[in-house]
A = this chain, B = another copy of it.
Amino acid sequence: MKAPNPEFEAVVRESFGRQTFMSALGAKVERVAPGEVDISVPFNPGYSQQNGFLHAGVITSIADSACGYSALSMAPPAHDVLAVEFKINLLRPATSPSFLACAKVVRAGRTLTVAMAEVFGITGSQRVLVATMMSTVIARPIPG
How many copies of this chain does one complex carry?
A: 4
Least CB separation from A57: chain B residue: B61
Neighbouring B residues of A31 by C-beta, 8 Å: none
Which residues between 42 and 89 of chain A lie within 8 Å of chain B, taking CB atoms?
Answer: 45-52, 55-58, 60-62, 64-65, 80, 82-89
Neighbouring B residues of A136 by C-beta, 8 Å: 84-85, 89, 136
Neighbouring B residues of A85 by C-beta, 8 Å: 85, 87-90, 114, 134, 136
**Chain A binding surface SS class:** mixed
A21-B58, A61-B61, A106-B129 provided; 7 other pairs, C-beta below 8 A?
Answer: A20-B46, A60-B60, A82-B93, A85-B85, A89-B134, A91-B106, A116-B132
